[in-house]
Amino acid sequence: MAFIMLFNLIIDPLGIWKIFNVKGVNEYKPQQYSHQRLYKAVDLMKQKSDTIFLGNSKVQNGLDPEGYQALTGEKAYNLGLGGSTMEEQLRYLEHALYNDPSIKNVVMGIDFRSFNSNRTNVGDFDPNRLSKSSIFFTKDAILTTLTFDAIRLSYSTIIANKQGGDQHSFFEHNGKRSEFTIQQENQGRKAIDVFGGYIHASLKDPSIYGQYQLSQKHLMYFQAIVDICKESNLQLKVFISPSHVTLLESIRNAGHWNLFEQWKREIAEITPYWDFYYYNSITNEPINDNMKYYWDSTHYKKEVGNMVLSKMYDLGKNGIPSNFGVYVTKENIENHLQTTRRLRDFPNYLDPDSAALVKNIYNELTKSSTRSPVYSMKEMALRENINWSLDSSAAGIKYVKFPLADLPNFSDAPLSLQKEKAVMKTIQGTPITHIVNTSWRAGQANEFYITEKEVIISVENSVTGWGEGVVPSASEIKAYFAKAPYSFTYIIQLN
């Protein structure tokens, strides 16, 4: 046991223990991406910064703390979390303030998709690890040193480092995503294909624009962030992230433009903000293989992030187009929306190839029916009408399962979508790790996986009371889940 702990502490696949890094052994941390919420929760315990960058992957990829320090002379940490909801961003802000009360500024990048009611917290989000000042004597300390999954992560880290060549960890020391990893992600692909993939996913995914519903709950979490900043005397600067015009066109083609405008109005009622997400000289960059401003239709480069920071702080604005960035209040919001509509409809203003790309993808998605499929999320307590059985056992763990047929209307939506978007939580709200795009189940409790016919969950013997040699019956498994029900959220098709 001591050897296992020492091995995982030294290899440190997530970069949270930081005992030592050796090139060719553990310098490169490829596992950080899939465990970024754990990594940043621990990293924040050690950071001292003047400013926190808050947001999702757009902020994570595009706001550069070094560029910010060059502009303002202050140190910043990029707390962007890929796919994060408003609740996650609120909890991580609280965590940052708990560990560093000297923080003075918050720069927050928001976008339309984060306020979709179909958007749920990502599987590796665990509020129980937050508002702590040390990882020692926590569940995460055990998970990263004394589990089979920790050994697997360490082993895969060693193998990846042995491959040689140019390698970089997912995150830089200041929390920003490494540009090398973004370049590697798109290496060998044409820009038109990269953009097309993002547009296709945005139009189809119910948690993006596939079926958009403006969430009052997410707006309340955003209001809470604004309130905390006021109460803590933090200077808050909010901006709408400048994604490419192809996503604006996706919103329009999906029929959500009125909701998009209403969202901007709702934000203006809560706080003034800088809007960079409309038709302008930066967002309208023609798609080509040597793009200056964008990695893809969603993520902007740090050159754009530096323009955003310069505009908001009124510093070094040379070279920034005058039509990039509008300061929006509840007094001028209607004029701003009207101007955006005029730009949108102005002949020859929108790059025609970008508009045609979105239109063609939208038509392709809808050509088989008169309407796009409309999806929604359904939450069900795994308590009654579930036919439980034992799948297999491992050291300290039982894998239990139930048929997909037990979930009402589950089969109405594509299985590929279900496998990607399903969410499971305990009755206390703790998320269960979702194993996606693999049939392998790690020897670890609190994970679930969707097969072609079943949902399989790993539960810990010490929690269920089933010993190593015990083979629980269907009724015993059902009794356990009736006592401590899990909730399962999945996608149903409404039309």
- Residue 245 is predicted with a pLDDT of 95
- CA–CA separation, 229 vs 240, rounded Å? 18
Residues 225 and 89 sit within 8 Å (Cβ to Cβ) = yes
- Residue 372 is predicted with a pLDDT of 60
pLDDT tens for each residue of 160-175: 888 766 677 889 999 9
Q: pTM for this structure?
A: 0.74
Residues 76 and 49 sit within 8 Å (Cβ to Cβ) = yes
Residues 229 and 90 sit within 8 Å (Cβ to Cβ) = no
Q: Are strands 51-54 and 76-78 parallel, antiparallel or unpaired?
A: parallel
Please compute Rg for the chain using Cα positions. 23
pLDDT tens for each residue of 450-475: 888 889 898 888 888 898 888 999 99
- CA–CA separation, 417 vs 489, rounded Å? 12
**Stretches in the chain below the pLDDT threshold 50:** 369
* Beta bridge partners of residue 379, listed in sequence order: 489
- CA–CA separation, 385 vs 367, rounded Å? 38
- Residue 80 is predicted with a pLDDT of 97
- CA–CA separation, 494 vs 492, rounded Å? 6
Q: What does residue 380 show for φ and ψ, rounded to 5 degrees?
A: -135, 135
- Residue 181 is predicted with a pLDDT of 87
User: How does DSSP classify residue 178?
Assistant: P
And the tokens for 480? 């356990």
- Residue 115 is predicted with a pLDDT of 96
- Residue 438 is predicted with a pLDDT of 53
- Residue 369 is predicted with a pLDDT of 47
Q: How far is CA 203 from CA 123, 137, 207, 261, 417, in A?
A: 22, 44, 10, 18, 13
- Residue 443 is predicted with a pLDDT of 60
- CA–CA separation, 38 vs 108, rounded Å? 21
